[in-house]
Amino acid sequence: MRLGVEAAVVDGELVAGDIETVDDEITAVGLTPSGKGIALPGFIDIHTHGYDAVDFAHASLDDLGRASRGLTATGVTGFQPTLLTLEGDDMLDAAERHSSARYPGARFLGTHLEGPFLSPAHPGAHDPSLLQLPDVETMRRLLEAGSIGQVTIAPELPGASEVIDLLTARNVVVAVGHSDASAREAHEAFDRGARVLTHVFNASRPFRHRDPGVVGVALTRGDVYVTAVVDNVHLSREATLLAMQVGPARFVVVTDAMEAAGQGDGVYTLGNRQVTVKDGEARLADGTIASSVLTMDGALRNLIDLGWSVSEAAAAVSTSAADALSRSDLGRISVGGRADIVVLDDAFEVKKTLIEGSEVFAA
- Contacts of 132-139 with C-beta under 8 Å, sequence gap 24+, read 132/85, 133/157, 133/158, 133/159, 134/158, 134/159, 134/160, 134/162, 134/163, 135/159, 135/163, 136/162, 136/163, 136/166, 139/163, 139/166, 139/167
322 φ, ψ (degrees, to nearest 5): -60, -40
Question: Residue 236 burial by CB count (10 A; 0-12/13-18/19+): exposed, middle or buried?
Answer: exposed
So which residues are the catalytic ones? 256
Burial of residue 159, with CB atoms counted within 10 A of its CB: 0-12 exposed, 13-18 middle, 19 or more buried: middle
Instruction: Give the number of other CB atoms < 10 A from CB of residue 91.
Output: 25
User: Tell me, what DSSP letter sits at residue 118?
Assistant: -
Classify residue 172 by its DSSP letter. -
**How many CB atoms are closer than 10 A to CB 171?**
8
| Alpha carbons within 13 A on the beta-carbon side of 36 | 8
Q: Could you give the CA distance from residue 328 to residue 338 in angstroms, rounded to a whole number?
A: 10
